[in-house]
């Protein structure tokens, strides 16, 4: 693995103060300030970026065990196009991306008018438990493992962070999400996150116990919120949107998709997913359509041994959903004890079923009056609801 490279490229500068010299003076003029820099390679010590510099990811950025990547408020990080351009925090590494509402941190594409799947995204590997007490292999690179027995493991902090145009893929089955949390522990702080225009899922939890608060996902190509492999945390204040003109390249895009174990292959494992979602809104702004690429497969899909508690959930808009709540699957239905509380305010009729309860008698309450996720917590993103 190459050592961390922070190479300076004087591609653009800001104006330097004028220097007045007399004719014939040999006084040197001051060097212009650095405003752009390349970012790639391994971080093995503590590296702190400079908010006055725009960084460009040109290859994998790997925060190794013992390494720390500090990203101050207001930092702009752009990524070149391609699957190999991403940030990966390994077990024992930390990322501290501490933005503010006034100065958020932005991880984005390096070009204007970028599309979904331009670059990788952000992956964090922690030491918190997975279903079966096993270790997992990172989806995009099996050389890196995650999972363990430390529920309170800390991988650092993400606050007021935008993650845009992610989801680059190397094959039909290997692609990035916007934010991937692999066995991340609840000692990690993740709050106020905005993930627009990503391929695959907006966010995916592979096991772990981390809690996430104030999450906005816009136009993810597949699922908005995905849980699997024994996830046991809480997602609070989650808002997912499909905008007008959206269409999916996936066969089964959903609001929530939840598996108890990885891909439903280990139904007898102990420690299946048992998580909570509080205050969630799914908004389908696109026009009602008979085109399946413009329909949501399920607003909420709980399956394969997962147990979920979803409270104050709301789905609204003019778009089309096939099913509201589906707790069935060929590899196992939702676990007993699942509780889902949802208000349907869609103006288009459901094309499938309101409820598919499955074999284990989940409590599914389709009711009126839920308010879902507040929008004022996302004022810092600039998104116009």
DSSP 8-state symbol, 30: P
* Tokens standing for residue 6: 């922070």
* Tokens standing for residue 126: 């922690």
CA distance 282 to 310: 13
CA distance 73 to 309: 34
Pairing of strands 169-171, 174-175: antiparallel
CA distance 103 to 250: 34
CA distance 194 to 179: 10
- Compute φ and ψ for 286, nearest 5 degrees: -70, 155
* Tokens standing for residue 114: 């970028």
What local confidence, expressed as pLDDT, does residue 292 receive? 86
Strand partners, 333: 303
Contacts of 49 (CB under 8 A, 6+ apart): 39, 55, 69, 70, 71, 72, 75, 77
Three-class SS state of 35 = coil
What local confidence, expressed as pLDDT, does residue 26 receive? 60
Contacts of 142 (CB under 8 A, 6+ apart): none
What local confidence, expressed as pLDDT, does residue 314 receive? 98
If we measure between CA atoms, which residue out of 74, 12, 100, 84 comes closest to residue 41?
84
* Tokens standing for residue 293: 């690429």
pLDDT per 10-residue tile (average), the chain, 385 residues:
37 29 55 90 98 98 98 98 97 98 98 96 98 95 96 98 96 88 98 97 98 98 97 98 93 96 96 98 92 93 98 97 97 98 97 97 98 98 97
* Tokens standing for residue 285: 């702004």
What local confidence, expressed as pLDDT, does residue 27 receive? 63
Q: How far is CA 69 from CA 48, 216, 229, in A?
A: 6, 24, 27
* Tokens standing for residue 354: 């309101």
CA distance 137 to 17: 52
Contacts of 193 (CB under 8 A, 6+ apart): 158, 161, 163, 179, 203, 212, 214, 215, 216
- According to DSSP H, which parts of 215-267 are helical? none
What local confidence, expressed as pLDDT, does residue 128 receive? 98
Give the residue carrying structure tokens 């284990």: 360
Contacts of 267 (CB under 8 A, 6+ apart): 260, 261, 304, 305, 331, 332
If we measure between CA atoms, which residue out of 222, 221, 203 comes closest to residue 275?
203
Output the CA torsion 296→138→108→190 (10° steps).
80
């Amino acid at each position: 693995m190459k050592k961390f490279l922070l190479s300076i490229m004087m591609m653009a500068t800001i104006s330097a103060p004028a220097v007045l010299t007399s004719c014939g003076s040999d006084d040197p003029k001051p060097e212009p300030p650095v405003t752009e820099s390349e970012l790639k390679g391994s971080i093995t010590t503590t590296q702190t970026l400079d908010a006055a510099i725009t960084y460009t990811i040109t290859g994998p950025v790997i925060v190794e065990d013992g390494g720390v990547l500090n990203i101050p408020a207001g930092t702009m990080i752009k990524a070149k196009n391609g699957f190999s351009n991403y940030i990966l925090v390994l077990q024992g590494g930390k990322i501290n991306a501490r933005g503010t509402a006034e100065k958020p941190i932005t991880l984005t594409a390096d070009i204007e008018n970028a599309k979904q799947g331009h670059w990788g995204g952000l992956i964090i590997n922690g030491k918190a438990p997975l279903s079966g007490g096993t270790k997992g292999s990172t989806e995009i690179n099996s050389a890196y493992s995650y999972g363990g027995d430390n529920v309170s493991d800390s991988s650092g902090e993400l606050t007021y962070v935008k993650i845009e145009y992610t989801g680059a893929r190397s094959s039909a089955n290997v692609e990035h999400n916007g934010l991937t949390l692999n066995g991340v522990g609840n000692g990690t702080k993740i709050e106020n996150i905005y993930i627009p225009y990503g391929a695959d899922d907006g966010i995916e939890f592979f096991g772990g116990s981390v809690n996430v608060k104030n999450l906005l996902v816009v136009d993810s190509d597949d699922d908005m919120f995905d849980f699997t492999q024994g996830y046991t945390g809480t997602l609070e204040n989650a808002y997912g949107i499909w905008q007008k003109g959206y269409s999916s390249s996936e066969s089964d895009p959903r609001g929530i998709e939840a598996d108890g174990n990885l891909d439903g292959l280990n139904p007898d494992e102990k420690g299946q997913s048992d998580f909570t979602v509080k205050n969630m809104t799914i908004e389908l702004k696109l026009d009602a359509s008979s085109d399946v690429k413009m329909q949501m497969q399920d607003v909420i899909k709980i399956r394969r041994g997962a147990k979920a508690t979803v409270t104050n959930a709301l789905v609204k808009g003019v778009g089309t959903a096939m099913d509201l709540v589906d707790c069935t699957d060929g590899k196992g239905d939702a676990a007993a004890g699942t509780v889902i509380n949802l208000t349907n305010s869609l103006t288009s009729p459901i094309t499938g079923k309101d409820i598919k309860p499955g074999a284990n008698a989940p409590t599914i309450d389709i009711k009126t009056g839920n308010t879902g996720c507040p929008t004022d917590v996302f004022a810092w993103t600039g998104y116009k609801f």
